[in-house]
């Protein structure tokens, strides 16, 4: 299968389900999960009398997630959990904030040097360079458009509706519920993988004729779909830049350790790469139990991360095909970061990492879960921008 970037332009509010916080409140995710594309194409084929072909078509496709973007050709991304901003004046400098930075390479080098016996004269503490205030984690999405950094957060819209009686098929007295959806302001850009280019027109027809997400029969989910021209660096180039920046950070920290008499190498050995979750991932250990630990199968062996930042998240949703809620399970949250090390050169592992990125990690990757990006580009921003 090969990768295609797509752009979805909403015409009406879009709601994609998540775990319900309470019975009369229907919240939405801030991005479009790949499962809604998968559901749309299956429903469209069912309407057109092609039920027997659904499995064959869907098995030859993998649906990534679509993230809010300011432009059809800009692939915005969720912030990794290692990204921080000033607690007093958050945001990018270009937007009036004190700047945003990523701490992964700093924390990784600090951790790896400690394993080699380094001792530092001061603990690792990051403060805002402008006001010396505390830093906190950034949430949401970001994009780099024409050299300018910007946060991208979709705007919610709420509608109050009258519940219907299951027995009378009419409005139920004193029964109201609230629906939160995404206002049709931003484009949504993401990736799909197909084994045949002829399947994209089928997906476009499905989206534009029956809509996507929940409540499509009540005016929600109308959208247009087209191919997008996104310039994303190849995996090998991303890994190369990741290791070049790591060597810079490592060298600075090694010089600091040498000031107190520690003998440590001036640069790291081997090749490091990060696996960043662009969506929640359902992971299991060797006993089949839920876990937040990611292990990668490479060269016939399972590799454990040398460093990681993650947190749990409940993963669920609604199945249009079943007409029932999906099983709710524990997963690793979007933005989780896992760093791996290997003795092999970049050219030796590039093809394996490309295949891993196309395949995803964990379960239900065909529905948008477990989507990953090798060496998230924001990890290179070790200074406030």
Domains and CATH numbers, the chain: 2-75+151-227 (3.30.70), 87-138+233-380 (2.60.40.4350)
Nearest to 294 by CA among 314, 278, 309: 309
Query: For residue 94, how far is the Cα from the chain centroid?
Result: 24
Alpha carbon distance 265, 113 (integer Å): 8
Give the pLDDT score at 60: 87
pLDDT in tens, the chain (385 residues): 889 999 999 999 888 876 555 556 677 888 999 888 988 898 898 888 888 888 888 888 999 999 999 888 899 999 999 999 999 999 999 888 999 999 999 999 999 999 988 888 777 778 888 898 899 999 999 998 777 899 998 888 876 766 666 666 666 656 666 778 888 888 999 999 998 888 899 999 999 998 888 778 778 889 999 999 988 899 999 999 999 999 999 999 988 888 877 888 889 999 999 999 999 999 998 888 889 999 987 776 778 999 999 999 988 766 665 666 777 888 999 999 999 999 999 999 999 999 999 999 999 888 889 999 999 999 999 998 8
Helix (H) or strand (E) holding 188: strand 187-194
- Residue 251: which H helix or E strand, with range? helix 235-258
Dist. CA 218–CA 197, nearest whole Å: 32
Span 67-76, pLDDT tens digits: 999 888 899 9
Neighbouring C-beta atoms of residue 231, cutoff 10 Å? 8
Contact 337, 376 (CB under 8 A): yes
pTM (two decimals): 0.90
pLDDT in tens, 255-268: 888 887 788 888 99
18: closest CA among 189, 207, 179, 222?
Answer: 179
């Amino acid at each position: 299968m090969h990768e295609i970037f797509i752009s979805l332009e909403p015409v009406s509010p879009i709601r994609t389900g998540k775990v319900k916080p309470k019975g009369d409140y229907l919240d939405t995710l801030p991005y479009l999960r790949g499962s809604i594309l998968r559901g749309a194409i299956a429903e469209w084929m069912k309407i057109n009398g092609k039920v027997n072909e659904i499995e064959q078509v869907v098995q030859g496709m993998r649906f990534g997630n679509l993230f809010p973007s300011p432009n059809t050709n800009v692939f915005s991304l969720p912030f990794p959990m290692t990204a921080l901003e000033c607690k007093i004046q958050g945001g990018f400098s270009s937007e009036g904030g004190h700047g945003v930075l990523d701490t992964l390479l700093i924390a990784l080098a600090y951790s790896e040097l400690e394993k080699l016996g380094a001792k530092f004269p001061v603990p690792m503490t990051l403060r805002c360079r402008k006001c010396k205030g505390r830093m906190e984690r950034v949430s949401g999405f970001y994009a780099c458009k024409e050299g300018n950094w910007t946060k991208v957060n979709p705007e919610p819209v709420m509608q109050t509706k009258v519940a219907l009686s299951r027995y009378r098929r009419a409005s139920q007295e004193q029964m109201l519920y609230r629906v939160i959806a995404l206002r049709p302001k931003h484009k949504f850009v993401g990736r799909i993988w197909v084994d045949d280019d002829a399947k994209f027109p089928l997906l476009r027809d499905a989206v534009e004729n029956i809509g996507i997400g929940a409540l499509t029969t009540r005016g929600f989910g109308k959208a247009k779909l087209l191919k997008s021209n996104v310039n994303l660096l190849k995996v090998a180039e991303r890994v190369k830049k990741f290791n070049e920046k790591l060597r810079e950070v490592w060298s600075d920290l090694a010089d600091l350790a040498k000031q107190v008499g520690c003998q440590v190498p001036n640069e790291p050995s081997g090749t490091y790469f990060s696996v960043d979750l662009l969506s929640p991932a359902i992971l299991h250990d060797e006993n089949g139990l839920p876990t937040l630990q990611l292990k990668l199968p490479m060269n016939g062996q399972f590799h454990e991360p040398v460093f990681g930042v993650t947190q749990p998240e409940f993963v669920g949703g609604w199945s249009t095909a079943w007409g029932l809620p999906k099983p709710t399970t524990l997963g690793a949250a979007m933005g989780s970061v896992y760093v791996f090390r290997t003795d092999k050169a970049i050219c030796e592992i590039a093809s394996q990492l490309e295949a891993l990125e196309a395949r995803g990690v964990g379960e239900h990757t065909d529905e948008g879960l477990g989507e990953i990006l090798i060496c998230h580009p924001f990890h290179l921003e070790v200074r406030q921008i």
